[in-house]
Amino acid sequence: MRRSSVFKPLDIVEMLLPISTFLQRSSCFSQMLLDDFKLSQGYQFLIDFLLKIDQELEKKDVEEYNILENVLHLTMPMIVSLCTTGFSQIQTVLPCPDQKQKQVLIAKCQLQEFRVPHVLAKGTAVRNLNAFQVLQVAFLRASNVLLCCKILEAIMEIYRMDDANYFILESLNTLCSFAEKIHQKPEMVQSTFFELVEFIVIQLNFVPRKELIALSVILKSNNVMETSVRCIRTLIHLLRINIEFVDVYREVGILEVFITCMKRYNEYLCIHMDTMACETGINHGKVNTAESLGRLVLEGLGILLSGSSTNTAIFKNCGGNKYIYEMMKYNHYSPEMLKIVRELISTVGGEDDMLNLLKHMNINRADRAQNSPSIRTNVLQFLIECLRESHRTRAFFRKVGGFVYVVNVLESLKGQFTNIHLNNELLRENVSLFRVVCQTLSAAMRFEPANAKYFQTEIANTLFFQAIREFGCFSNAEMIQPYTHSYTDPNNEISVDDQMMEFFRTVFHMSSDSKDKWGMCFDDRIPWNLYSICIIYRVLYDIVLDIFDKQETCDLMQSSRSITTKSVTKSDPIPTLMCSDRKTSTCIVSSYAS
């Protein structure tokens, strides 16, 4: 068969099948024929046969392709059956110099009461390592998608046949050798390979340390960006399957590799940030491969740092927090990054991390455009979650000057609530930003008398008051002219526009998430600054009563009040004022009349 060039691949398979069957039957009595098959270069012949098929598949002849696919369909089961053919059973052992190190290794790799499995039955366990090496060598030298996928499926089948097979074949380092060249394989082959790694963890409840180290090498070398993306998705999936991998990744060095990848992502942002902003507008939000890889790295780091003070300490020692601050400079506040900052803030030494977050939130960069309100809103909402968690976080929020930094955010709203009617989307973002600022202040003062006192004495009547006055909807006057009502002049009557009152009532009761009602709440007859004042008072009302998290209760209370309150009409008696001169009290801040 080796010398003849007349035989077609299908003819060769038909001759190999009876030889394989004869070897399987004879192995029940003796190993002699299998040894003769090896000495006669039988396994090398199988490798050369598979590689010849690999070359023929590249010719892309449809009829020939179907024939070769049928050949592989017959060949792969034959090789799998040869893997389980042998006279003696191979022991399932973990490779360790001595028994003591073996027990230590098992303890480190243990997941859910892991034990090294025993062979289930004869005919399911691997007994012929030479036959399995045919698959291994052929995969490393093949390039066709079909052949590579068929080989990986055959290996998957061998692992499924008996849980002990992975440990029998462990000394061959199959998946580690595959990982070294996986970036040279087609996309479908890479996906199948990473599924095979996941299968070992899921099926065996085992931590494949060598394979994980091989995956970390793929990430660190970053030969092909798409391969790195698939690799890190596999690593994140394993983290989600079993949280114990948080410690495993630290032990095998994957945590440090993630930090290295984050450093590369930071350098990418430094070079391509302006280009990314232009491409985002052109491609309507499409994310390129480098951006996708960076976000996945941040997501994986967020999981690794979540609830693990040891991992967080290593992250800081490796300079990870410095890269986070650098990314903040490029206006990059993704949810994945904020989750990392949340873990940094919640650990020992989190004061510096919160201070850096607050500082970078208020940096006025020339490249910050109209997305700034929404970005700051997202950062403040994240900060609210941090403040809700612990007394310690709220305490050092005051110590690092958090109240001043948060109130300074309102400087971006200076002159934004004038009568110049902007588009509704930008108006909604400005109102949302003001509301979330007040919500942050409220969260910082909740259950913290010291914070509340500090805000009342140092912030409320100075910075906060001045920032609100500069919104553009209030006049510069601090006093209004007193109004005197005459009961003798019939023309001097108090009149109430019920329709206008209904408009203002709707605005006041409007929930912060009522986006569908936003455009219906405005009337061109009423100046925008009056709407703004109504909204501002509503937000101040919420911060005084601390009801940002109790919106439904607040709306129910207000609706019941509006039902029981009588409207003022001409026939209603005017209540007697306590002041002798019957003058109204003055206001500190007055609104424009028009």
Residues 304-356: pLDDT tens digits? 998 888 999 999 999 898 888 888 777 667 788 888 888 888 887 788 888 88
Name the residue type at position 256: E
Calculate the average pLDDT of the chain.
79
pLDDT in tens, 360-393: 877 654 444 444 677 788 888 888 888 888 888 8
Distance CA 238, CA 246 (A): 10
Token digits for 489? 């002049």
Structure-derived torsion over alpha carbons of residues 579, 582, 587, 588, reported in degrees to the nearest 10 = -60
Q: Which of 389, 390, 386, 360 lies closest to 375, judged by CA?
A: 360
Alpha-helix residue ranges (DSSP H) falling in 306-334 = 309-317, 320-329
Residue 260 above 90 pLDDT? yes
Distance CA 247, CA 249 (A): 6
Helix (H, G, I), strand (E, B) or coil at 284: coil
pLDDT in tens, 204-220: 888 899 999 999 999 99
What pLDDT score was predicted for residue 421? 58
Better-predicted residue by pLDDT, 553 or 440: 440
pTM of the model: 0.78
Count of helices and strands (H, E) across the chain: 29, 0
Q: Is 539 exposed, middle or buried (0-12, 13-18, 19+ CB in 10 A)?
A: buried
Residues 92-120, mean pLDDT to the nearest whole number: 55
Residue 540 above 50 pLDDT? yes
Give the percent of the chain with pLDDT over 90: 37
Better-predicted residue by pLDDT, 154 or 522: 154
Residue 581 above 60 pLDDT? no
What pLDDT score was predicted for residue 229? 95
Distance CA 273, CA 367 (A): 10
What pLDDT score was predicted for residue 553? 45
Q: Which of 582, 516, 515, 507 lies closest to 537, judged by CA?
A: 507
Distance CA 185, CA 422 (A): 54
Q: Which of 318, 321, 314, 266 lies closest to 294, judged by CA?
A: 266
What pLDDT score was predicted for residue 577? 30
Better-predicted residue by pLDDT, 579 or 183: 183
Q: Is 521 exposed, middle or buried (0-12, 13-18, 19+ CB in 10 A)?
A: middle
